[in-house]
Chains A and B, each alone.
Chain A
Amino acid sequence: MPEKNMLEVNHISKAFGGIKAVDDCSLCVERGSITGLIGPNGSGKTTLFNMVTGFYPPDSGTISLNTQPIQNLLPSQICHRGIGRTFQITRLFWKMTVLENMIVPVRHTGWRTLFSRGVKRHEEERAMELLDLVGLTQYRDEEAGKLSFGQQKLIEFAAILMSDPELILLDEPAGGVNPVMIEKIMELVDDLNQQGKTFLVVEHNMRLVMELCQQIVVLDHGQKIAEGKPAAIQNDPIVLEAYLGSTNHAGT
């Protein structure tokens, strides 16, 4: 009987030099949900992502996936546990082809697979399926660095699906992308969610957040200041204060 909460973050903190990027923050991501993580710039969202995916350990607190603690694991181990993640500034293997970018994340299961052929038939098929999902099959042999910004974002997203993650962390999927592409991304996330995937989405685009997310967590200065359904968050005076009171505005 799977846990209701897929991801549990308990009282984690992280300081860099003297600055507390995340301060005693706790949140849960329900299985099968699309949870939004919002807050003004500098509120600690990406730092939180980095801790969940293992790039640095929290100074204190615990992070669990399906009740198993993961805060001290390597990023690659966390990936194997079923968490996939995109980056705020898209990261791909620029000099590799799109297809190769799709193949790298494939989970291999042991020593034999390590030294086996680079691109297997069934992996190639799956990669093409996913490329078809994002409508980019014709670019399979193109150098990733040569694609447009929006296309690169889609490739990054499609590639992490290759390892079939249960929980997907999206860091500003709509950042710097045109409205048509935003629609496309929203559709994709919704479809995948219907198929059972859980999402945690950092976004500044309020329309996307309010329409897509079933649950929203709000951070400010590294702390959680609000949590709830989109309608409640939209009208929460504390949240409005955090956004309007800070020097950086959230865009729409």
Chain B
Amino acid sequence: MKRLLSSNCLWITIVLLILLIFPWIQRSQYSQHVMVMTMMAAVLASSWNILGGYAGYTSLGHAAFFGLGGYLVALAHNHFGWHPFISTWFLAFIVTGVALILGWISLRTQGSAFVVVTIAMVFIFRIVALNLASITNGARGLTQARPGWAGVPWSPEFIKIPFHYIMLLLLCLTIFVSWRIRQSKFGLGLIAIREDEGKAEAVGINTMLYKVLAFGISAYFMGVAGGIYSYFFTYIDPQFIFDIFTGVTMVLIAILGGRGTLWGPVLGAFIMEPLGNWIIGTFGGTQIHLTIFGAILLIVMLFMPQGILPTLSEVIRQRGKVKLAKVPS
């Protein structure tokens, strides 16, 4: 076990180093862009995983918090001049507050009902954003100034690099929190809720509190990511951001990599996001990426619902067992 742990540490250090120097080894704008999006997908899937993986409550509506973060940051930038790289960390607490309230209401439902409730939630956000045009600019969306610092816009060759590092920071933070939760009593409680919620309640776990907390914590990282996102693209609009497809992508990534594990969502993101970008790049304006995503999710849910990481570790364990059996007694 200890050997595994230190080999884990080794891997993490190597990957972290690669990610740190990435913008200097890959000068291509496109690659840098995809890497930022990939890390963002990992953030979204990992924070989704806190409620969806550990506690087993599938939310398809987390795009609501992603979008809310995006809007808050864009508005603060446009009205008060707050730089998104700083404001997003604070404004995301507002997102968390909203999430705690919504979570307290909606977590009375369970299972399929909860999934449907989160779908309704996203669409309510969308309609409100579309119609409160005086604040949100409605269907036209919100634009921001070109990314830069202290009034000086960044050059096109440089522009992706600050986003790379802030997203890397967010990713590290998200993974760290997810890891700490997993190791803690809180995490154990969430897993107990997933295994048998009634029993968890019976042995003294205040399931509502735990669930709402998980909902709120995952919303925080979504909110921060959303704030960075709206700045990255300098544009957000309700139709695109308040959509279940974002939620489905998070779910697909987390499930593909291994729902409920620490690294599964990250692995899933590093597979699906570049793949998705390649598909959109190659097949362009068609809807084929929807078909492929849908088909992958379908196949994974039907044939490999544990995801890659648990299946892999199971395979390794089985092979280990076989090896042991062959050793003469």
Q: Is the CB of B199 within 8 A of A91?
A: yes
With contacts A75-B202, A105-B203, A115-B180 known, is A94 near B186, CB below 8 A? no
Which residue among A80, A95, A104, A117 has the maximum number of chain B CB atoms within 10 Å of its CB? A104
Q: Is the CB of B198 within 8 A of A96?
A: no
**Does any Cβ of B come within 8 Å of A116's Cβ?**
yes
Q: Is the CB of A91 within 8 A of B204?
A: no
When C-beta atoms are compared, the residue in chain B nearest to A113 turns out to be B185
B171-188 residues at the A interface, CB under 8 angstroms: 180-181, 183-188
Q: Residues of A contacting B98 with CB < 8 Å? A: none
Q: How far is the CB of B181 from chain A (nearest CB, A)?
A: 8
Q: Residues of B contacting A79 with CB < 8 Å? A: 202-204
Q: Is the CB of A80 within 8 A of B204?
A: yes
With contacts A96-B191, A104-B192 known, is A75 near B201, CB below 8 A? yes
**Does any Cβ of B come within 8 Å of A34's Cβ?**
no
**Does any Cβ of B come within 8 Å of A68's Cβ?**
no
Q: Residues of A contacting B192 with CB < 8 Å? A: 93, 96, 104
Q: Is the CB of A115 within 8 A of B199?
A: no
**Does any Cβ of A come within 8 Å of B196's Cβ?**
yes
Interface flags for A49-87 (1: CB within 8 Å of B; 0: not) read: 000010100000000000000000011110110001101
Secondary structure class of chain A's binding surface, majority of residues: loop
CA distance A85 to B200 in the complex (A): 12
Q: Is the CB of A107 within 8 A of B191?
A: no
With contacts A55-B198, A93-B192, A96-B192 known, is A104 near B203, CB below 8 A? yes
**Does any Cβ of A come within 8 Å of B206's Cβ?**
yes
**Does any Cβ of B come within 8 Å of A6's Cβ?**
no
Q: Is the CB of A96 within 8 A of B195?
A: yes
Secondary structure class of chain B's binding surface, majority of residues: helix
Q: Residues of A contacting B181 with CB < 8 Å? A: 115
Which of B184, B196, B204, B208 is the one whose CB lies under 8 Å from A118? B184
Q: How far is the CB of B190 from chain A (nearest CB, A)?
A: 11
Q: Is the CB of B184 within 8 A of A116?
A: yes
- Chain A residue total in the interface (Cβ 8 A): 33
CA distance A84 to B203 in the complex (A): 7
**Does any Cβ of B come within 8 Å of A108's Cβ?**
yes
With contacts A104-B192, A115-B180, A116-B184 known, is A92 near B204, CB below 8 A? no
**Does any Cβ of A come within 8 Å of B246's Cβ?**
no
Which of A53, A91, A95, A104 is the one whose CB lies under 8 Å from B188? A104
Q: Residues of B contacting A92 with CB < 8 Å? A: 196, 199
Q: Residues of B contacting A87 with CB < 8 Å? A: 199, 202
**Does any Cβ of B come within 8 Å of A239's Cβ?**
no
Q: Residues of B contacting A35 with CB < 8 Å? A: none
**Does any Cβ of A come within 8 Å of B136's Cβ?**
no
Q: Is the CB of A117 within 8 A of B198?
A: no
**Does any Cβ of A come within 8 Å of B205's Cβ?**
yes
Q: Is the CB of B180 within 8 A of A76?
A: no
**Does any Cβ of A come within 8 Å of B189's Cβ?**
yes
Which residue among B185, B187, B189 has the maximum number of chain A CB atoms within 10 Å of its CB? B185
CA distance A36 to B203 in the complex (A): 22
**Given A103-B188, A106-B185, A117-B184: 10 more A-B contacts, CB < 8 Å:** A75-B201, A75-B202, A76-B201, A76-B204, A84-B203, A91-B198, A92-B199, A94-B195, A104-B189, A113-B185
19 A-B interface contacts by CB (under 8 A):
A53-B202, A55-B198, A74-B206, A76-B201, A76-B202, A77-B206, A84-B203, A87-B199, A91-B198, A95-B195, A96-B195, A104-B205, A105-B203, A114-B185, A115-B184, A118-B184, A118-B185, A118-B187, A163-B203
